[in-house]
Chains A and B, each alone.
Chain A
Amino acid sequence: MKSKVRLSAAAALAAVPLILTGCGSGTGNASGANSGSGNAASGSSKPVIGGNLVIDRSNDAVSMNKTTTFDNSSIFVMEQIMEPLFTVSNDGKSVKPWLATGYTVSADKLTYTIKLRSGVKFSNGQPMTAADVKFSIDQDTKTGSDGWGYINAAIKQVTAVDPATVQISLKYPWAPLIADLSLFSNGIIPNNYAGKSAAAFYNAPIGTGPFEWSSWQKGQSIKLVKNPHYWQPGKPYLDSVEFDVVPDANTRQLQLQGKQADIDTYPDFSQFSTLKNTPGIVATAFPSTEVDYLAMNELKAPFKDPHVRQAISYAIDRNALVKAVLFGIGKPANSLLMPGLPYYDGTGGETYDLAKAKQALAESSVPHGFTTTMEISSGNANQATVAQIVQSELKPLGITVNIQQLDPTAAHAASEGTGYEMDYSAWTMDIPDPDEWTSFAVDPSGGARSAFTSYTNASVISLNKQAEQQTDPTKRAELYSQLQQQTSKDAFLAYLFYPPYLYATTNNVHGFFVTPLGNFHLEDVYKSS
């Protein structure tokens, strides 16, 4: 999902989600992180039934096709309609059964037998069976690299054993399987698209989720209404949900103040403290799985040298960046992995140390510095601030940084090319398993040339491969710990910070909670009058 980078494209202000100060390292309930809003678990009062929830976002959705759509604005809508077999836990560290009730794994780790929840119906009243599950996963797998199919690459075959049991056989042991099944692209839809063509089906998708499709005015608003057949008794509380497109952050805030909207998605960091102090508004920073970093292209001479990359990593004062860019709402980044992920270690990352930076550069091929270019997206104030701070921090090393602003799509294209030198980028997770990101970032054969840096370290690649196939969590943790230490030492990316997801709601909204993957469960939300 998480084309956060792309999201900011259409409205540079969409910027970044975030993480609350001090919340990161705790593994407890993530809601502990929020500003005492009572938002996440307003348990004591009785939920109010009915009402229409209006969610403001800067971008419209693109498509409801769960297998080939990559933008969050689409994904957050489709997740209310189509549900997966498993879903991520609130702290983002594990998955819990959802449309499934549990699974067993064969001794050779190659066969997973999954039991389906009974009494689950699609919004058209048709009961969900194993045939639907097989069809849904197979359709996703078929998209291959044109969609999310690559996520299912380890799957050999899906078999409907009986109406309530599904068996998945694998080509090789694959630890992230259950996490992969929690991805929206593996959400369950009726067998054979309920008799429609794929295109017709995704124009008005049917699923088992709390809400069903109602209407879409492109560029304006998407409306969902309550699914009368929902499997969780008494839920959803709301009658309907409306996702409105409001590109301007100020307008979103005003709509919230005027009670025309209930939820403001991604207010700017600069607005956050004002929002928090506005009566009637609850502003919350949910821990995320976003990491912002500077990519250094190893195809360009000075960056091939690890000493140069280390020097740059040491020279960046991450606390200053968090203060200036995230207004203190976030954490300095110290690992390839994010605190919202399982196996985050967070002990090896470079911290600000100018003496060490100078020493590292002295040992490098360019002891007296060099001139380089950093590419950022134009119109994105956060990126511009980061670039200027980094520019001034590298000056004492004799490194002259020229900042080049490109429009967001051009910047994106440049960051995926081979011509850039330094580039501002970010990543967020879609599944609660590090593999999605580590394979993209450290394995040159993962298709993305190691997050487009051409970084190649045989021992890191091997650690990543072992972790993929290791199903024992303790041993996996050890492997990922080594991987984090080594990648930090190689400094192939200069980690910057972990921003949280910012949301603001009116104080009438209860039960709204965002997981570190960015998903939210609207069946738990209700509005008091």
Chain B
Amino acid sequence: MLHRLRFIPGRILQAIPVAFGVSILVFLMSHLLPGNPAVAILGNHATPAAVASLSKHLGLDQPLWDQYWLFLVHLFQGDLGQSLTYGQPVVSLVFSAVPVTLSLVLYALVLSLIISVPLAGWAATRPGSVRDLGVRAYTLLGQGMPQFWVGIMLILLLAVRWGIFPVSGYGQSFTDHLYYLFLPALTLAISMCPTIIRSLRSSTIQALGSEYVATARSKGIGGASLFRVHVLRNAAIPTVSIVGVNLGYLVGGSLVIEKVFAIPGLGSLMINAIFARDFPTIQGVALFVAIFVVIVGIVTDIVYTLLDPRVDLTNTEAAR
């Protein structure tokens, strides 16, 4: 089994050109935007003289390629530079936002699985029945409802009306985080579940109709252990890649939810950095998200390989 995981080091090496490409793209794109950080920092009082002086101070008067070269040199020293707005190392800003977004996304993933797996299995065991129709109706609804609206509705009901959860924020301690992040994670989960349920439901129906399940049944295996060992494991394979894609998307796309729930994550950091033209921070966040997406891809492949002994990514790569 282990030899099938030999593709991992190669995949990790592939991440380097990806990250490099992303950094050039983001660097050029952010510098293409009109407007300059000095103007953003000085606000109303930005006289041309003050802007020029501050730009010089921030090193923005250097040629673009010199600025990029400097960024690369620092990067190899593990230094992403100083935030132009906060005057603080970008690394520390990113590292304080990463756990927030990651815990939100993972929390949402856990909630989605808790909701989706039983619902999909429940619906798939009686296709066409009332409960199946009910679950399918939810998948339609769940996809149709905008996230920010679901978020506000949850806040209004569970936080403002009943006072069970805080309206928004992040809290101080770990238990605080679990408590504060519940509503935003649920909001994300509600919109993530429909995709998972749909895929899992149809692959479960397929698996239930397969010959190996019939064989297992004929051997007297039934109930939960049949579902767990024979059905779910096979049905989960397509779902794993869907979840992987969604996770990468969520890290970049959690912005709306972070805004509605006032969560100080990567999304808020990125959007503020873009508005303030805080180039080093934009770079840092983009780089991190790129690396994260690559890692999720690798993890997805690993889970895939472990779930299905027939998948051998080493061979596929050798065949290329």
Contacts and interface: CB of A to CB of B under 8 A. Distances in A.
Interface string B44-87: 11111111011001000000000000000000000000000111
Interface stretch (A18-26, A167-175, A243-251, A491-499): A243-251
B155 to A, nearest CB: 5
B43 A6 contact: yes
Given A3-B45, A217-B96, A410 B261 contact: no
B169 interface: yes
Given A6-B44, A70-B45, A254-B155, A219 B275 contact: no
Contacts of B47: 145, 446-448
> Which has the most chain A C-beta neighbours within 10 Å: B44, B160, B277?
B44
Interface in A214-249: 217-220, 244-248
Contacts of B275: 9-10, 407-409
A408 to B, nearest CB: 6
Interface in A1-41: 2-7, 9-10
B159 interface: yes
Given A244-B169, A413-B35, A447-B50, A218 B41 contact: no
A413 B168 CA distance: 34
Interface stretch (A100-108, A120-128, A255-263, A353-361): A255-263
B70 to A, nearest CB: 22
B43 A5 contact: yes
- For the side of the interface on A, what is the size category? 35 or more
A470 interface: no
> Which has the most chain B C-beta neighbours within 10 Å: A70, A145, A219?
A219
B36 A146 contact: no
Contacts of B25: none
> Which has the most chain A C-beta neighbours within 10 Å: B42, B48, B87?
B42
- For the side of the interface on B, what is the size category? 35 or more
A410 B34 contact: yes
B264 A245 contact: yes
A246 B259 CA distance: 7
Interface in B92-119: 93, 96-97
A409 B262 contact: no
B261 A70 contact: no
A413 B260 contact: no
B167 A260 contact: yes
Contacts of B46: 412, 416
B216 interface: no
Contacts of A257: 160, 167
Contacts of A140: none
A257 B97 CA distance: 27
A9 B276 contact: yes
Interface string B272-313: 100111000000000000000000000000000000000000
Given A244-B262, A251-B167, 18 more contacts: A3-B43, A4-B44, A10-B272, A62-B41, A63-B87, A70-B41, A145-B49, A218-B264, A247-B268, A251-B155, A254-B152, A254-B160, A408-B275, A409-B39, A409-B275, A412-B35, A413-B35, A416-B39
30 contacts: A5-B44, A59-B272, A62-B41, A63-B87, A70-B41, A70-B43, A71-B43, A145-B50, A146-B53, A217-B264, A219-B97, A219-B272, A220-B264, A244-B169, A251-B261, A251-B262, A254-B160, A254-B168, A255-B169, A255-B262, A260-B166, A409-B276, A410-B33, A410-B34, A413-B35, A413-B39, A416-B51, A440-B45, A447-B48, A449-B48
